[in-house]
C-alpha cells in the first residue's frame, strides 16, 4: 500500500536522538538478535539428553520433536504483529521490550518446569517470544542504510541467528553443572541487553511512521506480490536452517549413535557455516542480484539433501552434505531479505518482514515433527530428506520464473 498517509519523523529532537552511527546501530541490533535467539534455542540441545537419561520419563521421538519445535511455532507467528508494531514504534522500543518479556518464560523453565514435560511445553510456547526479535531488527537496520547497502547490512544482522551456536555449545554443559544454570545465565544476559539497548539504540532520523490502523497495514502488506513469494522462499531457506538447528542433535544421536555432546557440537558447526554465509549471501545479492544467489542456493540444497537421504558416513560425505546445505541455507536466507529490501517500500518493510519471518519459522516448525513421525513409522529419516530435496527443487523453479519477474519489475505495489 502506498504510504500517502505515513509521515516521516524528522523533528529536531528525533534527529538528535538518532545521532548514533549506522554501524553502532547494526552492531547493537545484531547482538540483540543473537541473545534472543540464544534464548529461543535453549530447549533444543536438551532434547537428546532427555532421550538418553530419561529425565522426563520415557519420551518418544515425536514427543521430543514437539518439545523442541513449539518455541519455533510461537516465534514464527509472533513475528507478524511484532513486525507491524516495529513499523509503528521502532526498534528502540521493541528490542528492549521483546528481550525483557522473554526473560519470564526462561525463568519459568528453569525454576518451575524443568522436571515436567507438560510444563516444558507451556514454557516453550512463551519462549518463542525471543524468536520475534528478527522482525524487529530487519526494518530497524533497513532504515539506517541506503538501498545499495541493505543486502549486506540485513545479512550481517541475520548472522545474529548464530545465537543458536551459543545455546548448542553451552546448554548441555551448563545443565550438567546445575539444571537451572543455563536458564539463569541467559536471563541475566537478556536483562543486561534490554537495559543497554534502551540507552543506546536510536531509530533512523528519517524513519517513516505509518499512521493507518494495524490490521489495514497488515492486509495491504499481504497483498504485495513480493510478500507471498518471499514467504515461500524463506520457509525453505531459513525454515530449513531452523529445522536442522533444532532437530539435528536428535537426528545425529539416533541415526549415527553419537553422544548428546558430540551431536550438539556438530550442530554448532552447521550453524556456524550458515551464519557466516548469511551476510555473504546479502553482499553477493547487492552485487549479482538476489535471483542468482537464490538459484544457486536451492540447487545446492537439492544436491545436499539427496546425498544425505542415502545415509552417507557422518565424517565424510555426510559432513559434506550437511555443511553444504548449511552454506546454501544461510546464503539463501540473506538473499531473500536482500530481495525484500530491493522491492519493498521502507514503511512496509516491517510488515513484510513479519509475514516472511513467520513463514521462515513455520518452515522450521513442520520438518522436525515430520522427521520424528516418519522415523517412528519407518526407522528411517530418508523420506524427510527426500521431501526437502523436492521442495528445494520447486523453490528453484519459482525463483527462476515468478520471483525473477518480480525482481526485474521492482514491485512494491499491491495487486
pLDDT confidence tier of residue 278, bands split at 50, 70 and 90: confident
DSSP H/E element including 378:
helix 349-378
Task: List, for residues 173-216, the tens digit of each pLDDT value.
Answer: 888 888 889 999 999 999 999 999 999 999 888 777 777 777 77
Measured in residues, the chain has a length of 415
pLDDT confidence tier of residue 148, bands split at 50, 70 and 90: confident
pTM comes to 0.73
Q: What pLDDT sits at residue 154?
A: 83
Kindly write down the DSSP assignment for every residue of 224-247, as one continuous string. Answer: SHHHHHHHHHHHHHHHHHHHHHHH
Q: Which residues is 208 bridged to in the sheet? A: 8
pLDDT confidence tier of residue 51, bands split at 50, 70 and 90: low
As a whole number of angstroms, the distance between CA 329 and CA 323 comes to 10
User: Which of the two residues, 411 and 324, has the higher pLDDT score?
Assistant: 324
Q: Which residues is 209 bridged to in the sheet? A: 7
Q: What pLDDT sits at residue 412?
A: 42
DSSP H/E element including 301:
helix 290-309
Mean pLDDT for 245-255 is 81
Mean pLDDT of the residues in the chain:
83
Q: Which among 297, 298, 281, 289 has a CA at the least distance from the CA of 404?
A: 289
Q: Is 80 exceeded by the pLDDT of residue 264?
A: no
Phi, psi of 57 (to 5 degrees): 95, -165
Q: What pLDDT sits at residue 255?
A: 84
Q: For residue 197, give the CATH number of its domain.
A: 1.20.1250.20
Q: What pLDDT sits at residue 104?
A: 95
Contacts of 262 (CB under 8 A, 6+ apart): 252
User: Which of the two residues, 307 and 76, has the higher pLDDT score?
Assistant: 307
* 415 domain residue, yes or no: no
Q: What pLDDT sits at residue 1?
A: 40
Which domain range does residue 369 map to? Answer: 7-409
* 126 domain residue, yes or no: yes
Q: What pLDDT sits at residue 6?
A: 47
* 414 domain residue, yes or no: no
Nearest 10 degrees: Cα torsion 353, 359, 361, 362: 160
Q: Is 90 exceeded by the pLDDT of residue 118?
A: no
% of the chain with per-residue pLDDT over 90: 30
Q: Which has the minimum average pLDDT: 106-115, 235-244, 253-262, 327-336? A: 253-262
* 156 domain residue, yes or no: yes
Q: What pLDDT sits at residue 295?
A: 96
* 2 domain residue, yes or no: no
User: Which of the two residues, 191 and 72, has the higher pLDDT score?
Assistant: 191
Q: Which among 343, 341, 337, 374 has a CA at the least distance from the CA of 359?
A: 337
* 301 domain residue, yes or no: yes
Give the chain's domain count: 1
Residue 27 burial (10 A CB sphere; 0-12, 13-18, 19+): middle
User: Which of the two residues, 331 and 349, has the higher pLDDT score?
Assistant: 331
Q: Which has the minimum average pLDDT: 75-79, 127-131, 226-230, 367-371? A: 367-371
Q: What pLDDT sits at residue 107?
A: 94
Contacts of 342 (CB under 8 A, 6+ apart): 147, 150, 151, 285, 290, 407, 410
Q: What pLDDT sits at residue 239?
A: 85
Mean pLDDT for 291-317 is 93
Mean pLDDT for 257-275 is 83
Mean pLDDT for 21-44 is 91
Q: What pLDDT sits at residue 26?
A: 94
As a whole number of angstroms, the distance between CA 368 and CA 309 comes to 15
Q: What pLDDT sits at residue 56?
A: 66
- DSSP category for residue 116: -
Q: Is 70 exceeded by the pLDDT of residue 325?
A: yes
* 74 domain residue, yes or no: yes
H helix runs in 78-112, sequence order: 79-89, 91-108
Mean pLDDT for 291-304 is 95
Task: List, for residues 372-415, the tens digit of each pLDDT value.
Answer: 778 778 888 888 889 899 999 999 999 999 999 988 876 444 33
Looking at mean pLDDT, say which of 16-25, 54-63, 182-191 comes out highest.
182-191
* 1 domain residue, yes or no: no
Amino acid at each position: 500500500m502506498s504510504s500517502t498517509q505515513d509521515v516521516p519523523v524528522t523533528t529536531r529532537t528525533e534527529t538528535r536522538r538518532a545521532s548514533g552511527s549506522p554501524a553502532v546501530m547494526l552492531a547493537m541490533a545484531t547482538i540483540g538478535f543473537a541473545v534472543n535467539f540464544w534464548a529461543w534455542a535453549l530447549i533444543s540441545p536438551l532434547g537428546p539428553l532427555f532421550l538418553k537419561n530419561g529425565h522426563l520419563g520415557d519420551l518418544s521421538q515425536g514427543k521430543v520433536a514437539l518439545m523442541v519445535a513449539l518455541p519455533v511455532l510461537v516465534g514464527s507467528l509472533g513475528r507478524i504483529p511484532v513486525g507491524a508494531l516495529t513499523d509503528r514504534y521502532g526498534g528502540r522500543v521493541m528490542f528492549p521490550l521483546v528481550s525483557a518479556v522473554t526473560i519470564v518464560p526462561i525463568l519459568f523453565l528453569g525454576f518451575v518446569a524443568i522436571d515436567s514435560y507438560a510444563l516444558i511445553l507451556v514454557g516453550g510456547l512463551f519462549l518463542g517470544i525471543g524468536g520475534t526479535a528478527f522482525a524487529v531488527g530487519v526494518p530497524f537496520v533497513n532504515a539506517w542504510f541506503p538501498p545499495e547497502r541493505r543486502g549486506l547490512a540485513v545479512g550481517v544482522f541475520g548472522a545474529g541467528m548464530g545465537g543458536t551456536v551459543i545455546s548448542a555449545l553451552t546448554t548441555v554443559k551448563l545443565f550438567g553443572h546445575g539444571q537451572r544454570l543455563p536458564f539463569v545465565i541467559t536471563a541475566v544476559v537478556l536483562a543486561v541487553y534490554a537495559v543497554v539497548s534502551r540507552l543506546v539504540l536510536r531509530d533512523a532520523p528519517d524513519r517513516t511512521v505509518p499512521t493507518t490502523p494495524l490490521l489495514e497495514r497488515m492486509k495491504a502488506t499481504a497483498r504485495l506480490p513480493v510478500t507471498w513469494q518471499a514467504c515461500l522462499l524463506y520457509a525453505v531457506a531459513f525454515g530449513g536452517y531452523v529445522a536442522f538447528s533444532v532437530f539435528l542433535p536428535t537426528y545425529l544421536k539416533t541415526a549415527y549413535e553419537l553422544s548428546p555432546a558430540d551431536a550438539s557440537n556438530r550442530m554448532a558447526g552447521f550453524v556456524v557455516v550458515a551464519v557466516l554465509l548469511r551476510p555473504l549471501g546479502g553482499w553477493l545479492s547487492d552485487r549479482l542480484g538476489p535471483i542468482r544467489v537464490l538459484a544457486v542456493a536451492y540447487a545446492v540444497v537439492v544436491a545436499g539433501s539427496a546425498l544425505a537421504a542415502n545415509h552417507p558416513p557422518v565424517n565424510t560425505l555426510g559432513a559434506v552434505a550437511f555443511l553444504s546445505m548449511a552454506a546454501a541455507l544461510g546464503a539463501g536466507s540473506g538473499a531473500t531479505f536482500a530481495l525484500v529490501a530491493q522491492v519493498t517500500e521502507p514503511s512496509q518493510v516491517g510488515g513484510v518482514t513479519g509475514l516472511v519471518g513467520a513463514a521462515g519459522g513455520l518452515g522450521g516448525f513442520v520438518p522436525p515433527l515430520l522427521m520424528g513421525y516418519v522415523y517412528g513409522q519407518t526407522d528411517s529419516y530418508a523420506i524427510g530428506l527426500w521431501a526437502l530435496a523436492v521442495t528445494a527443487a520447486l523453490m528453484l523453479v519459482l525463483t527462476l520464473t515468478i520471483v525473477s519477474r518480480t525482481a526485474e519489475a521492482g514491485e512494491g505495489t499491491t495487486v
